[in-house]
Amino acid sequence: MTAMPDPLVTAVASLPHGPEFRFLDRLLTLEPGVSGTGEYTLRGDEPFLRGHFPGEPLLPGVLLVEAAAQLAGIVAQSDPAHAPMPGLKLTAIRAAKILGTARPEETVTLHARITARMGKLVSAQATASLRGTLILQCEVTLAGG
């Protein structure tokens, strides 16, 4: 019996990030080219936590935005109506509201929905929540090469 590829591994391969800068552990849902839901669990051993903040580690809000943008990139790259865009990167953040954060051993649930496409630009609305409480809402624009 042939093992099925892990959908997250396949999806993350569509992004330019290395393993050290991936903020998605699980892909829970994916409606290709439309929306997706994923999770990131803050382990507690991430190097950035040593300085943010010593003795009281918190996931930086900018990394919540990055996680949301990575999920939006996976959704965009999965669209069967559009060829994958090499080097897809975050190029704009709008209407970002960081309403909370995560601590080690907490799991953040992310959701991204594509709102527009124009050439090599993709816009998405994204949110992050922790135990059902909204901790981030934003709009991101991604651009591919």
Annotated active-site residue in 17, 52, 82, 111: 52
Contacts of 100 (CB under 8 A, 6+ apart): 130, 133, 134, 135, 136
Task: Tell me the three state secondary structure of residue 7.
Answer: helix
Q: What are the C-alpha distances in Å from 90 to residues 25, 47, 50, 60, 132?
A: 19, 22, 25, 17, 26
Q: Which of 27, 102, 19 shows the shortest CA–CA distance to 72? A: 27
Determine the Cα–Cα distance for residues 14 and 25; give it in Å rounded to an integer. Answer: 15
Question: Contact 120/34 with Cβ under 8 angstroms?
Answer: no
52 is catalytic: yes
Dihedral of the CA atoms 85, 89, 93, 96 (nearest 10)?
100
Q: Which residues are catalytic?
A: 52
